[in-house]
Structures are given as structure tokens and as C-alpha cells.
Structure 1
Amino acid sequence: MRIERKNISRNLLKKGFVKKEDKHHIYFHHHYKGVDTGIYTFMSHGKKHEDYDRKVLSKMKKQLKLDSTQDLVDLVNCPMSEDRYNEILREKNFISVD
């Protein structure tokens, strides 16, 4: 399984993430109700990192507090909505309801 970096980037931005770049990486910080939750992941700028394999996706899954790689695939391929992702984070007490 491989997912293109541009698809990950485009779809995380649709799900409440804010993009920040530095010289080597592209960071995606999750925001909920306008506040940074402290949950983030990052990707490399390099040409050899134009798509990500299962190993890297597994690391991203952990960074984004998801239980399975399939959950991450659903998040970045859009079956999982922003509301559902936030619900998962609330259930795990990473964000609060108020």
C-alpha cells in the first residue's frame, strides 16, 4: 500500500490541519475550534518521498493517535470525515467537548 504525498497533504488540510513548512519537512498540526491540539505529523520535501509506504503510514498513524493504518488511510483518502476524526480524539481524551 502506498499513498501519494500530495493526497495526504491535500486531505489533511481539509480535516482541520494547518500546514507549516521548514527547510526539510512539511508539518501538519491539528486544530480544533481554532486551537492547536498538539497532535501533528510531518512529511519530507525530498523527491524520493513523493509517496509513502505502509511503514511510514504506520508511523503517521501513531502521531495522529489512530488505532490502525486503515484508519489513517480512511482519514487521508476521505472516507473518514473531520467530525469523525475529532470524535475519535474526544473518545481518547486528546481533545475536550467544550
Structure 2
Amino acid sequence: MTISDFEKKVIGKKVSKVLEVKVKQSHHTIYNCYYNGKYILRTYHSHRTGDLREFEMQSIKSQLKLDNKQQLYDLNNCPLSAEGYLEILTKKNLL
């Protein structure tokens, strides 16, 4: 998965549909996510381009409160909908 895929598909098309996402630029691009005004989670990536490295994908998976890397791939490739992601967060009592 490339960084641009992560930004456009995972954050732009999925996470931002169910959570309010505020972007902050620092030495990383940081995404703070809120639900009904309550802070839920944050994820980030570096400003470089290209593919996400294995350790970055593991970090993003954990930051997005996903159980496994397959769920991250599913968010990117569409089998996991925005509503499905919201359901995962609800089951974990994060909302």
C-alpha cells in the first residue's frame, strides 16, 4: 500500500466518512479522529512518498484500532466499508 493510497482511500474515503478527521502537518502528517466531538484516535505517516513499510503498516493498524493487517488492506481495497469500520470501533467500546 502506498502512502497516497492510505491518504486517499483509507483516510479520505473510509475513516473520514464516520469520524471527523483533523489533519495537522508537522514532521509527520497527523490525523486526529473524533466522533461526536470526542477524541477517538490518531494516526500518522511521514512526509516521504512510496510504499508504506511493514513496521509503518503495523503501527497504522494499531493506531486505527484494527485487529489485523487484513482489516487495513480491506479498508484500502473496499471489502471493509466505512460503516464496517465504525462497527469495529463500536465493538471495542471506543465510541
Scaled by the length of structure 2, the TM-score of the pair is: 0.80
Residue equivalent to 1:13: 12
Whole-angstrom CA distance in 2 between matches of 1:51 and 1:7: 9
- Kindly name which structure, 1 or 2, has the bigger radius of gyration based on alpha carbons: 1
Task: State the identity %.
Answer: 34
- 2:44 aligns to what SS in structure 1? strand
Residue equivalent to 1:94: 94
Scaled by the length of structure 1, the TM-score of the pair is: 0.78
Match of 1:43 among 36, 42, 45: 45
Q: 1:36 to 1:28 in 2, by over 3 A?
A: farther
Structure with greater strand percent? 1
The CA RMSD measured in Å over matched residues stands at 1.8
Shift of 1:19: 4.6
- 1:31 counterpart = 2:31: no
Q: Is there any run of 5+ residues in structure 2 with no aligned partner, and where?
A: none
Q: 1:82 to 1:31 in 2, by over 3 A?
A: farther
Q: 1:21 to 1:86 in 2, by over 3 A?
A: same
Shift of 1:77: 2.5
Structure with greater helix percent? 2
